[in-house]
Structure 1
Amino acid sequence: MRVILALALALNFIFSSEVEAIFEISFGIFGKVGEAKTRLIKYDNNSTYELFMDAKAIGAIDKLSGQRREYFYSTGEIYRDFLLPQKFVHKVERDKKGKRTLKYKIFNFNQRKKQIHFTKFKGDTNAGVSKSDDEILSYYAQNDLLTLFFNFSKIKPNNLNSFALIAAGANDKDGRVDIFIPDGKQKQKLQKSLNTQFQPYIAYINQDIFSSSKGELHLSINEKGYANRAILKDVLLFGDIVAKMVSVKEKP
């Protein structure tokens, strides 16, 4: 699911007040294994926003994953085209041992105090959920995972080919995401594998996603700022996970 998320996150919605996009994911011999729908809506004369994402497995992987489904939600203010989150929610549902289990992670941002209040709930659809974590995070981030890549073009340092960004909901320890901008032969190699003429990026999510070593993600971003293709490298014994945009709709 996170590879679909990372691809959807790399959308740049600055030109529209509402955007909807659909992505599909394929994995080696299994073919298409998942899809995600994402939507951004701007309100109040483009001063506030809501970001939604619904990701799910399909086919044989749907059964193997326990009909896993993930929801992501971010809401906050817009300041000089930056999305500044006030709340970020990540919900996971799946079938396990005859139950429909639920997990919620909620991040409440206090941008003035530079603090993030984190709460976590878990349980199932029958018994309900109970709080398992309640703390102020040891790190502060201006972004969550849904706003990070929207704001990416505005916050990346100039004249650097590698740097780190922080996002609530990324690496559990410190929210760190490492970005590398390849050039020369490596750039050409990635452009070929991503089937793009645009500048490719490598993002290290620093999590063991699908048993990949560091969550190494290759991204292609087109001239409109849309990520149209992504590859999660070296997953299990089956190779790479590939995600691509299949449709996008914009409303002025």
Structure 2
Amino acid sequence: MKRIVLLILLLSQMLSGKILSASYEVSYGIFQTMGTADARFEIKDDQTYSIRIEAKTTGIAKFLSNNRIESYESYGNVINGRLVPLKYVKVRQTDSKKTIKIYTFDHSKQKVWKENIHSDEWDKVEHDFYAAEDILTLFFNLNTYTQSRQDQIFYAIGGSGKDGRINVVFPKNEVLQGMKKTLEMNEGDFLKVILNDRIFASSNGELLINLGKDGLCDKAVLADVLLFGDIIGKRVR
């Protein structure tokens, strides 16, 4: 489920609007629709922001996952048009248990503190590495980094578990045409995001993404997952 949510997390470039929302359906090979996700982005008084994404399993996936629900949230400040996170929260729950992870940013000391809350257990430690962004703010900030449309490497809490590394690649020529064919889309912007982590049976989590005219992801594909085929996230509203 976490990896399905990441299809939805990679959904946007920074927009001028104060409030933005979208809904997605996720299908997985023979299982068809196996989950839904709702995303909401809001800027308050041009000074603070909030992002929230909630994903739920549906149908057979809901039954097999014990009614799994995950939410991802980011809160912080808007500084010179860029989102700067202060807190990033991940919640995972089923009918039988609930876990919460809270990441708090101390940018002045270049540290991130992690709190794990599971049932009655609570632990707060310094995270293994510092990153100036979480995965939500990174992708809402992308347009401030990628105007040159050159391939780049970023680091974010929620990226690779080792160091947060995320590669963003802008396809060209034959590679671009191949992406358009795979995504079955011709309009909008196209990019490849490499999470540098195993997603299902894929080697390093390569996501093919199509951005619509409003900057939101219209469709994302994790291709050739062993046994099942493609995992597809598609915007429905």
| Length-normalised TM-score, structure 1 | 0.87
Shift of 1:163: 2.3
Rounded to whole Å, the distance in 2 between the matches of 1:159 and 1:35 is 31
Who is 1:110 aligned against?
A: 106
| 8 Å CA contact retained: 1:22, 1:245 | yes
In the alignment, residue 213 of structure 1 is paired with which amino acid? Answer: S
Q: 1:182 aligns with which of 171, 176, 192?
A: 171
The answer as to 2:81 corresponding to 1:85 is no
The 3 A distance-change label for structure 1 pair 63 and 26 is same
| Length-normalised TM-score, structure 2 | 0.92
**CA deviation vs aligned residue, 1:110-139 (integer Å, no higher than 9, x gap):** 1222211112122xxxxx33125x322242
Who is 1:15 aligned against?
A: 16
The answer as to 2:235 corresponding to 1:245 is yes
Rounded to whole Å, the distance in 1 between the matches of 2:149 and 2:142 is 15
The answer as to 2:138 corresponding to 1:137 is no
Alignment of 1:129-168 (within 5 A): 129-132=120-123, 134-156=124-146, 158=148, 160=150, 162-168=151-157
Q: 2:97 aligns with which of 82, 95, 101?
A: 101
Shift of 1:5: 3.5
| 8 Å CA contact retained: 1:202, 1:219 | yes
Structure 1, unaligned stretches of length 5 or more? 123-127, 248-252
Percent of matched pairs sharing the same residue: 31
Rounded to whole Å, the distance in 2 between the matches of 1:14 and 1:197 is 19
**CA deviation vs aligned residue, 1:79-132 (integer Å, no higher than 9, x gap):** 12211100000011124xxxx11221111001222211112122xxxxx33125
Q: 2:194 aligns with which of 204, 229, 251?
A: 204
Name the SS for the 2:178 alignment partner: helix
Rounded to whole Å, the distance in 2 between the matches of 1:136 and 1:9 is 26
**CA deviation vs aligned residue, 1:189-238 (integer Å, no higher than 9, x gap):** 10122213333111111222223221111000123211100001222311
Larger strand share, 1 or 2:
1
In the alignment, residue 78 of structure 1 is paired with which amino acid? Answer: V
Who is 1:233 aligned against?
A: 223
Name the SS for the 1:187 alignment partner: helix
Name the SS for the 2:200 alignment partner: helix
| 8 Å CA contact retained: 2:14, 2:142 | no
Name the SS for the 1:207 alignment partner: coil
In the alignment, residue 69 of structure 1 is paired with which amino acid? Answer: I
Rounded to whole Å, the distance in 2 between the matches of 1:12 and 1:78 is 15
Q: 2:116 aligns with which of 116, 120, 134?
A: 120
Name the SS for the 2:97 alignment partner: strand
Root-mean-square deviation (CA, aligned residues, Å) is 1.7
Q: Choose 144-153 or 1-10, whichever is displaced more.
A: 1-10
| 8 Å CA contact retained: 2:9, 2:135 | no
Structure 2, unaligned stretches of length 5 or more? none
Q: Choose 192-201 or 167-176, whichever is displaced more.
A: 192-201
Provide the aligned length of Structure 1 versus Structure 2: 235
